[in-house]
């Protein structure tokens, strides 16, 4: 249904007012004083001093706190099923593309997503980067044979947020973010799904997408401690991992999860909840991702919960302007990935995402990595622009804005070569 033009303009006028009373802090001198929770002190006050106590006591505690207070608990998965739609050579025979229909609950009439799996020609299984994309599989390249996304897509049409349809004009629109041929040249595969296939990204009380398929009898929407959209997308990434683990051409021990922005928050949560991801990369993930919430620099908890009420679980609303009351902060999300390698990537001009706060999460997760016997973050000050810190907790900040660039991909794959042992 089209909105009447007067209603449309009323909405446009109202937009800047949305959350305008929320002051945004961009000055380190203005930040509140805070004390971060110690990832190595258990709820009962005991200091965690062994890897065993971390695994048995503290890690499960932290995981549960993030589930109930931040992202919401996802249901137990059902076995997936899949159907190969197409397989062909790409890039002059350098690699193959498999298009696959993924049935996320195993049923052909249940929620489903179309997956693109690009693999380099190789005589042995290859490491694969699993990543959701923002605009539809057809936007990753100019390849005319990839169908337009079927699900809702974000665009600037005048019909409100709900009923967008992908159009031919958007083919290839995101290709600068996906240097697929280069990824294959470096010996890695890429598995990607459009995130809207898993859960359309607007607030509809979870009537569509993956959530509906798991709704409990008598519950109209997820409870206050149950999954929001980020947890839903992370659940989708885990189903991609299910699929990749069924593929002989894929190295099951070298699955990498990567995401940008809201999908960077998602890749961190997927990495925290699913240890099959051997390496985790977040790009410009900001608030609710790698950035420390207690700093309140750039986007704050209240601001993100106001603009995107569906991303987190409803319990997270309690921490609007009340970050100190939250029993966890985001360095503990990084710690949940330990001892697996994690790379945190920032962009200098992306102040909304608080690059310094993203760095500090890595730094304050370091003691957990060290306890588990690996190195942590090799530096304690932010490195110069473009310098990849490739310790087990990796960090890089590059010049420029909120985006994914070819140089970002070089850094991801350099980090993966170092941490997962190259091709
Ligand atoms: C908004 C939001 C961020 C998010 C970003 C994105 O800017 O405030 O939290 O990371 O969108 O996903 O593009």
Write out pLDDT tens, residues 47-75. 999 999 999 999 999 999 999 999 999 99
CB 230 within 8 A of CB 312: yes
| 347 touches ligand 1 (CB under 6 Å) | no
Percent of the chain with pLDDT over 70: 93
Give the E-state strand segments of 173-297 in sequence order: 189-194, 250-260, 277-283
Rounded to whole angstroms, what are the CA distances from 109 to 81, 147, 161, 378?
Answer: 12, 20, 25, 49
Hey, which of 199, 306, 352 would you mutate to test ligand 1's pocket, going by the most ligand atoms within 8 Å of its Cβ?
352
pLDDT over 70 at 158, yes or no? no
Rounded to whole angstroms, what are the CA distances from 359 to 162, 189, 277, 345?
Answer: 36, 28, 21, 8
- Average pLDDT of every residue of the chain: 93
pLDDT over 90 at 6, yes or no? no
Rounded to whole angstroms, what are the CA distances from 101 to 189, 272, 291, 345?
Answer: 18, 26, 35, 31
| 259 touches ligand 1 (CB under 6 Å) | no
Catalytic residue among 229, 261, 293, 361: 261
pLDDT over 70 at 147, yes or no? yes
CB 419 within 8 A of CB 279: yes
Spacing, Cα 262 to ligand 1 middle (Å): 5
CB 113 within 8 A of CB 102: yes
| 286 touches ligand 1 (CB under 6 Å) | yes
Cα within 13 Å of Cα(368), Cβ side: 30
| 247 touches ligand 1 (CB under 6 Å) | no
Q: For residue 19, what pLDDT band results from cuts at 50, 70 and 90? A: low
Domain boundaries, the chain: 1-71+285-402, 76-250
Hey, which of 297, 299, 302, 354 would you mutate to test ligand 1's pocket, going by the most ligand atoms within 8 Å of its Cβ?
299
Element (H, E) at 117: strand 112-120
| 230 touches ligand 1 (CB under 6 Å) | no
Spacing, Cα 234 to ligand 1 middle (Å): 16
pLDDT over 50 at 391, yes or no? yes
The DSSP bridge partners found for residue 101 are 83, 114
For the ranges 1-15, 23-37, 129-143, 148-162, the lowest mean pLDDT is seen at 1-15
The DSSP bridge partners found for residue 291 are 287
The confidence score (pLDDT) of residue 154 equals 78
């Amino acid at each position: 249904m089209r909105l009447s033009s007067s209603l449309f303009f009323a909405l446009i006028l109202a937009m800047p007012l949305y959350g305008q009373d929320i002051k945004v802090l961009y000055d380190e001198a203005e930040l509140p004083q805070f004390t971060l929770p110690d990832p190595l002190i258990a709820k009962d006050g005991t200091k965690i001093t062994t890897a065993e106590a971390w695994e048995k006591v503290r890690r499960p505690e932290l995981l549960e706190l993030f589930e109930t207070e931040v992202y919401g608990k996802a249901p137990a998965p059902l076995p997936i099923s899949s159907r190969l739609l197409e397989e062909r050579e790409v890039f002059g025979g350098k690699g193959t593309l498999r298009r696959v229909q993924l049935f996320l609950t195993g049923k052909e009439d249940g929620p489903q997503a179309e997956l693109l799996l690009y693999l380099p020609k190789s005589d042995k299984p290859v490491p694969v980067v699993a990543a959701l994309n923002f605009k539809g599989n057809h936007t990753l390249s100019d390849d005319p044979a990839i169908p337009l996304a079927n699900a809702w897509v974000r665009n600037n049409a005048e019909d409100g947020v709900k009923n967008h349809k992908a159009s031919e004009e958007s083919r290839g629109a995101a290709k600068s973010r996906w240097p697929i041929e280069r990824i294959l040249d470096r010996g890695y595969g890429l598995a990607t799904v459009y995130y809207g296939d898993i859960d359309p990204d607007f607030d509809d009380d979870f009537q569509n997408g993956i959530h509906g398929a798991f709704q409990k009898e008598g519950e109209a929407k997820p409870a206050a401690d149950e999954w929001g959209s980020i947890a839903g997308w992370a659940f989708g990434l885990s189903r991609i991992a299910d699929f990749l683990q069924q593929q002989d051409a894929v190295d099951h021990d070298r699955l990498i999860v990567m995401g940008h922005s809201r999908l960077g928050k998602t890749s961190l949560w997927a990495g925290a909840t699913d240890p099959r991801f051997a390496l985790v990369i977040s790009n410009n993930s900001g608030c609710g991702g790698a950035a420390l919430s207690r700093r309140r620099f750039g986007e704050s908890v209240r601001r993100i919960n106001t603009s995107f009420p569906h991303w987190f679980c409803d319990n997270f609303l309690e921490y609007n302007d009340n970050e100190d009351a939250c029993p966890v902060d985001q360095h503990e999300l990084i710690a949940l990935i330990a001892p697996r390698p994690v790379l945190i990537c920032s962009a200098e001009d992306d102040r909304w995402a608080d690059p310094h706060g993203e760095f500090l999460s890595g730094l304050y997760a370091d003691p957990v990595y060290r306890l588990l016997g690996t190195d942590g973050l090799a530096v304690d000050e932010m490195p110069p622009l473009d310098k990849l810190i490739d310790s087990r907790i990796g960090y890089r900040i590059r010049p420029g804005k909120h985006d994914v660039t070819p140089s970002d991909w070089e850094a991801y794959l350099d980090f993966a070569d170092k941490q997962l042992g190259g091709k």
